[in-house]
Structures are given as structure tokens and as C-alpha cells.
Amino acid sequence: MRKIGFGTLKSTQQPALTATLYLWHGHSLFIGPVTDNGIHRHYALQLTITDNTPFIIAANNGSLQTQFHFSDIETPHSLDTNEQEVAVLLIEPDSTRGTRLRQQLATGISENMQTGCCQIPLPRSNEEANAYINQIDQILTNVSDQLHMSNKIERVLGYLAQNRGEPCSAKSAAEIANLSESWFLHLFTEEVGLPFRRYLKWKRLLDAVNAVSEGCNLTEAAHLSGFSDSAHLSRVFREMIGFSPSKILQDSRFVQVIICD
């Protein structure tokens, strides 16, 4: 048995099915099979969807066999797909998309909405993954992210991209944008879809993934991307992606990791 972040891929005599983890600032999408990964929780909204055989989602109060499941943040659960592929979409709850989905969860997700999500074929590429998430968004909230970016915010994002691992306060970023700090924070959230501090956390995470892909070990990647050490990186990775980076980033034979922005 070969363990990965969301669970375990079982070895067989046939070539193992490679899973894919797509990463963006503010959300991630895992496509692949998951075997019972034990009751756990994380600071993310989780949508689990399949266009095929139902999976089993379990919690402390029992289990459910279904093709669609929406877990709120910090909700104890485990997942077993019986070696069938599923989509596991983890979403930053403080993002624009996360806020919309939590509002929809509060009002209820209809059977028609669930059926519509399950009818979308699982993506096989970066482009299909983006389209898949937008279709899910449209079905559940009747909105897809079409964010307009001003030159002021683009300057800040450009600065952050060119200074990997360097600290950047909201005050410094506001100066780059030539805005007051309070207006910068408002505008950043509105245009990027994530609060500035949460964006920085996701950026450090994606920078660490990039560093590993360039040949760094987890300790080196942590320091290059602004984490205090590999343990700090692992804690944040588990909090935001739902599993340990050592199980994903250092063995691409079973999980392909793709950074999408």
C-alpha cells in the first residue's frame, strides 16, 4: 500500500492510477482514488463529487454512501472511494468563493444541484480543472469568478511574485499600490477574492511546492518560502490542503502536483 495525502493508493499488478492535485491561491482540486483516511478535520470547505460509483463519507455519527457531499470547515469526516476516482475540492472559507458556498450551504443544496455537479466529467488537464470549478460554482451559486484586476493590485502581485520568501506587510503592499492601508485591504479582497493575509499564506504554500519541484527538500523549501521550518510548512499544508506534504510532494509516481496560477 502506498500512502498519499488524502488516503492510500493500493498497489496492484496493474500500473497504479496517478492522481492529480491542482493548486490555486485559495483552493485546491484533487482528482483520484481515496481509501479510508481516518476521521480528520481541516480549515477548508470540502466538496467531494463523483460522476461514477458512490463513495463513502463517514463522521463520528455514522456514514453515508453518496455521489456528492459538502463538508463545512473543521467538520470531522473520513472518505473512502473504494479505489474509484473522485473530485475533492478544498476551498478557503474566507475567500469570495468560500463565502458564497457557505451561504448556499446555509440555505440548502438541492438534489438538482447535486445531480448537476455529478454529471460534469472529471477534469484531465489544467484547463479542464479551471472549467470544472467554474461549472460547479455556477450550479451551486449561479456565479462564476470573473475578477477584474486593477493596475494597483497587479503591481502588488508582481512584487510578491518577484520576491519569493520575503515578508511583506499590508502597509508595505499599500505603499506599492499607492493606497491607504485600509483601502488597499478592501480593494485586494474585492479584486483577488482572498484577504491579503490569507493570500500571503497560500502564496508561501505554493512557493514551497515550487521549491520542492525544483529539487529542494521540505526544510529547504520551507526556508525559501518564508516558513520557520519544515514542521511549520507541514502544519499549514495540512490545515489548508488537508494532508501532509511529505506524502505528496516527494513522490510524483502516484500524485502529480500542478500549480495553476
Model confidence pTM above 0.75:
yes
Q: Which of 131-145, 166-180, 183-197, 245-259 bottoms out in mean pLDDT, i.e. has the lowest?
A: 245-259
The separation between CA 199 and the C-alpha centre of its own chain, rounded to angstroms, equals 12
- Contact criterion met (CB below 8 Å) for 250 and 23: no
d(CA 117, CA 126) in angstroms, rounded, equals 19
Distances (CA, A) of 227 to 42, 121, 261: 19, 37, 20
Q: Is the pLDDT of residue 242 over 80?
A: no
Per CATH, domain 2-141 is 2.60.120.10: yes
Calculate what percentage of the chain has a pLDDT beyond 70: 89
Q: Is the pLDDT of residue 256 over 90?
A: no
CATH superfamily of 151-241: Homeodomain-like (1.10.10.60)
Q: Is 253 helix (H, G, I), strand (E, B) or coil?
A: coil
Residue type, 79: L
Average pLDDT, integer, range 221-239 = 91
The separation between CA 204 and the C-alpha centre of its own chain, rounded to angstroms, equals 14
Domain boundaries defined on the chain: 2-141, 151-241
Model confidence pLDDT, tens digit, residues 80-138: 998 899 999 999 999 999 999 998 888 899 999 999 999 999 999 999 999 999 999 99
pLDDT score recorded for residue 251: 55
